[in-house]
Amino acid sequence: MRADRPTSRDSGWSVRTKRQSKRADNSVTETVGNRAATGWGCDEPLTRNDVVYSVQRIDNHGLTTFDRPTTVGQSIAGPTMTPSRDQNLSVDLRLPLLLLLVAFVGLLGCQSAEPEVDETPATEVTTNAADAAAKQEEPSLPWSFRPYRVAIWLIPDDHPRWTSAVMSMLSQQLDRDLGLIEPAAWKTTTQVVPNQWRDLLTTWQKNTAELPVEFYEALKPWDKLVLVRLGHAGAELSYDLNELDVNGWSLGPTYSGTTAEFLPLPGRVADTIAQAFRPIVRIEHSEQDIVTTRVRAHGLMVRSERNPDAEPGSDAEFELVENRTSPCWIETGEIFEPVVRLANRRRVFELKGIESLDFTMLVQQDAVDGPYVRARVVSVNRADVALTRKKGRNTEKIGIVVRTPPGNTTIRLFTLRGTSARDLAEFPLNGYQIYSRSIYGTEDSFEYLGKTNWDGVIEIEPGDERVRLLLVKNGERNLARLPVMPGYKPVMEKLLPDDEERITAEGVVSGLKSESLDLWARRKVLAERIRLALEKNEFAMANRYYELYRQMVGVNQWRDLLADYERRLASSEKRQQKKISDMFKELTEFATKEFKLDDDTKVQEMMLNARQQRLTD
């Protein structure tokens, strides 16, 4: 605890502020406010618009007022300031006392007035408080003019070279370089990872499901979190970073790099952050599978450019144009990862209300038209319904640009099996056939990739297009279509319904089809042979064929056999039962059409007429 910090409740400080505004007639209006303080801290932070004109200290000796107009956050000019007491005494004070007093009020004004010492560094507390205050005011800005708030957390290894001075210098240089890359569309804050999250992020396996809810709540003041891990690769410095979108709770791919010296490290890390940054759009309208989105901070991505046709020194010499080199800019042909956010009754977004639509992509259709982008929904099964349905007041739909370094993606297919709903366990789907085709449905893009192994896994390599539409087949039916961008996520898993009963039924029905066709052909052949034998008066041969015809399965017997198989292969799952019923329906319709009782009646009449004619002769 500081030796000069007041500890008595009878002593403290009061900071009085005023805000000045200049009217058209050059008159000045002032807004005066009092900010009570206990000890060395005040109840709320001073802003840069507050002009401190009175700092009062209340102690056991009375009230002392120091008057000196100055703006918070600026250095104090002037050699003297005038103190006063209740008895209207005035004494000149020199610059050192004023610097000491206002510096304590400005730097320590946001800390708690309790005498305990906070273990968190004061720079982190001040930075987080400023970011939280700005975040509360940010939603009032329009979406197209709302800058990204980006936090960069540095996670060094245990090497002794990462001292506090080195990390402080690295943080300052990173903020400077990132500000040069994009001065308006984002606001960056770089710091060493807080101690309470260091152990978690060091051992984190890069799966957002492993992060606690408290971590999400701590990141609410920001839109993006960039984790920069610093280490050593032999004699070189190494770094790898990931960008975490806080709003969509989506983790981007890993970007890595090395450098032989420390001097170029901040610049290379800043360039890698710009490369890994994933802009977002907000879905505002949908029509069938086409959605219209608005780009965030689009109105801030501008730069000044000289107009060669304007006269030098004129107002039109420089003009504002779109800054297409900004990391926040949406390029033509982008792919988006959709996320649906649902707020609670207090209209506050929570982690449990974030829904990430796996195997669903938004493919940009047209070039950027102002702040708008049109995209087509490419999804697995009916997951795109969550994007195309009407949006409620507490629902927000966003799309995150997909940044993909070169690489493969491992797909794992599995299902749930068990004797009851309580003892279901994962069961890998091995031997499933995987095909790939273009998302635009061209005929020449159909390609066989292979089968899943014993663990239901298959490796997907990049193709000619950024997105590959995978078709999963087992037997004769397509089970799912999975839009995948190889390299974006190293591992993706898909739960498919248990298709074992349908596969068994499909095998039985396939065998019944073959037997049905064979039975139909044999009946036709024997009936024709009986007719030809009777025409040649070969009654013995015709009678032999007729005995074979009678030994075959009859029409009614065949229909009863199909009904018995369908009953034995019935499934308790509705979707599977519908597929099984459709297969047997097709087989039954074929039997009804081709196997007729009239055919048996005609053969019997031919044999009866032949016998009567033979008796007559």
The residues pairing with 149 across neighbouring beta strands, listed in sequence order, are: 187
- Assign 220 to helix, strand or coil: coil
Q: Which helix (H) or strand (E) holds 24?
A: none
The reported pLDDT for the residue numbered 555 is: 74
Kindly state the helix (H) or strand (E) to which residue 284 belongs, with its residue range. Answer: strand 280-287
Both tokens assigned to 496: 């498919």
d(CA 380, CA 365): 19
State the DSSP code for 440.
T
d(CA 170, CA 153): 11
Q: Shortest CA distance to 131 belongs to which of 145, 151, 113, 112?
A: 151
- Exposed, middle or buried: residue 81 (CB in 10 Å: 0-12, 13-18, 19+)? buried
Q: How far apart are the first and last CA of the chain?
A: 134
**pLDDT reported for residue 257:** 92
Q: Cβ(55)–Cβ(40) under 8 Å? A: no
362 and 375 Cβ atoms separated by less than 8 Å:
yes
Residues 6 or more apart from 295 whose CB is under 8 A from it?
Answer: 144, 279, 281, 330, 368, 371, 372, 373
Tokens 């239901």 map to which residue?
456
pLDDT value for 388: 62
Q: What are the respective helix, strand and coil percentages of the chain, to the nearest 5?
A: 35, 35, 35
| CB hemisphere CA count around 45 (13 angstroms) | 17
Task: Look at residue 169 in the predicted model and tell me its pLDDT.
Answer: 94
**Angstrom distance (rounded) from CA 79 to CA 378:** 69
pLDDT of residue 390: 62
pLDDT for position 385? 58
List of residues 6+ apart from 586 with CB closer than 8 A? none
Dist. CA 281–CA 298, nearest whole Å? 10
Q: Are 247 and 219 in contact (CB under 8 A)?
A: no
Ranges of residues in the chain with a pLDDT under 50 are 1-138, 383
Q: What is the DSSP code string of 161-225?
A: T--HHHHHHHHHHHHHHHHHH-SSSEEEEEEEPPHHHHHHHHH--S-GGGS-HHHHHHTTT-SEE
The answer to whether 485 touches 335, Cβ cutoff 8 Å, is yes
Biggest CA-to-CA distance, the chain: 155
Query: How far apart, in whole angstroms, are the C-alpha atoms of residue 299 and residue 335?
Result: 21
Quick count: other Cβ atoms within 10 Å of Cβ 214? 12
- Quick one: which of 481, 328, 444, 462 has its CA closest to 405? 462
Q: How many CB atoms lie within 10 A of CB 376?
A: 16
Both tokens assigned to 135 = 């975040």
DSSP per-residue string spanning 444-513: GG-EEEEE--TTSEEEE---SSSSEEEEEEETTEEEEEEEE-TTTSSEEEEE----HHHHHHHHHHHHHH
Tokens coding 583? 């297969």
Written as six digits, the tokens of 188 are 């960056």
Q: What is the 3-state secondary structure (H, E, C) of 343-393?
A: ECCCCCEEEEEEEECCCEEEEECCCCECCEEEEEEEECCCCCHHHHCCCCC
Helix (H) or strand (E) holding 237: strand 236-245
Chain centre distance of CA 214: 19
Phi first, then psi, for residue 309 (nearest 5°) are: -85, -10
Pairwise CA distance, residues 237 & 248, whole Å: 32
Distances (CA, A) of 273 to 36, 80, 124, 245: 42, 47, 21, 13
> DSSP secondary-structure letter at 90?
B
Distance CA 608, CA 543 (A): 11
Q: How far apart are CA 67 and CA 55, in angstroms?
A: 7
